Amino acid sequence: MKSATEKRKQRIWATIRDIPQGCVASYGQIAEIAGVPRGARQVGYTLRHLPKGHDVPWYRVIRSSGRIAFEKGSDAFNEQSKRLMMEDVAILEGRIDMQKYRWQPDLDELLWKPSAAWDDE
């Protein structure tokens, strides 16, 4: 049986996997969708501890302001920028236009995706 912490981590990762290519979501948005209210920092912590060989598109998660969370010019900043640009997400001075690129799942997507049965695990 999985612990509550492990289930929460799995929900966060599953939610991030649902972000479509060419879209981004904020840490807080991921927390809300994953059922971790006010859990933006927990999303960041969970991403920092991704296992090697994961399939989670971590680079699609940014600050609610549209800014990349890493220090500008750092390896992580450059890697995230590169991956987002490869998905045609425009970045201007470290910022992404959230009105244009923000993931906005519709209600059907949230209710009927396979991970909607999280509580049954």
Contact 63, 69 (CB under 8 A): yes
Rounded to two decimals, the pTM is 0.87
Selection from 65, 53, 61, 82 nearest residue 15 by Cα: 61
Domains of the chain: 4-102 (1.10.10.10)
Query: What is the Cα–Cα distance from 25 to 14, expressed in whole angstroms?
Result: 13
pLDDT at 114: 53
Burial class (CB in 10 A: 0-12, 13-18, 19+), 47: buried
Per-residue model confidence as pLDDT tens digits over 19-56: 999 999 999 999 999 999 899 999 999 999 999 999 99
Query: Inter-axis angle of helices 40-48 and 4-18, to 10 degrees?
Result: 90
Per-residue model confidence as pLDDT tens digits over 63-76: 999 999 999 999 99
Give alpha helix (H) positions in the chain: 4-18, 27-33, 40-48, 75-86, 98-101, 107-112
